[in-house]
Amino acid sequence: MIKRCVRGDRARSRPAATMAVLFLALVGGCGNLTSGGFGEVEVVLTSDVVDGLAEAARMALSTGPGADSPMASTGPVIDAPAAWEGPAAIEGAAIEGILTVWVRSFVRRGGQDWEELTDGFQRLTLSLQDPEPTDVARRSLPEGGYEAVRTVFTRVHAQVIRGLDVNGEPVTGLIRVDLGPEGTITVVDPVSFEVRERETVRLALEMQSRVWLRLVDVVQRRVAGDEFRQVFRVRLRPRG
């Protein structure tokens, strides 16, 4: 009886030893997955950026959605309004009003799945005449190289008070961006950046409202989604 009990104890100890080895292996593997540092990615949104508005205006009014651009899709060339006075007119003209946006932001590294920076859609309200950035998201990410930014809009509209002139006529009131049958606009921008341990990367979502608002259909009070997509851009801000 004693010998049988000893053999039984040894038999029972083998699975326990095996489980212990597996546990240690799993813990070691998890340690490898989480090794390495983390940095922060900060996302802000601005209704307008004066720097570069002239170039944005030229692109929006001289090339169509079918242009050679990572954000473009096939479509007709956009014709300039009859009263269009050139990019300098946009740079010097302030539009007063409120811009309201529902937005999500994602980044991607090494061909992996998109990593969301926001917690679902964020509702943001900004002044059209003041390009002061508004915080969208801040998230810790593993250090390394990232290759693209994806921005998804589910609603974009502006309540214009004054300052918007289209074909010689002042336009005020509510103006919406046409989001199409799916009710969203997605822009993928190939912005490459490096996340470094204990440092912050700053991404600016630049709406450039003074450009696309002047492309409004004054009868329907809508801006085509392709025209909005072509003007919107994501820019890497200097490290601070």
pLDDT at 51 over 70: no
pLDDT higher than threshold 60 for residue 216 = yes
Confidence at residue 19, expressed as pLDDT on a 0 to 100 scale: 52
As a whole number, the mean pLDDT across the chain is 78
Residue pair 143/195 in contact by the 8 Å Cβ criterion: yes
Distant-in-sequence, close-in-space partners of 173: CB < 8 Å, separation ≥ 6: 159, 160, 221
Higher pLDDT, 74 or 32: 32
> pLDDT digit string (tens) for 61-96?
444 433 333 333 322 223 333 333 444 445 446 899
pLDDT at 227 over 50: yes
Helical H segments across the chain, by residue range: 2-34, 53-62, 87-92, 209-212, 225-231
* Least confident range of 85-94, 147-156, 212-221: 85-94
Q: Is 56 in contact with 213 (CB distance < 8 Å)?
A: no
Residue 59: its pLDDT value, please?
Answer: 52
Task: Write down the pTM of the prediction.
Answer: 0.70
Interval 94-111 mean pLDDT: 95
Q: How many CA atoms lie within 13 A of 39 on its CB side?
A: 16
For residues 89-108, average pLDDT: 85
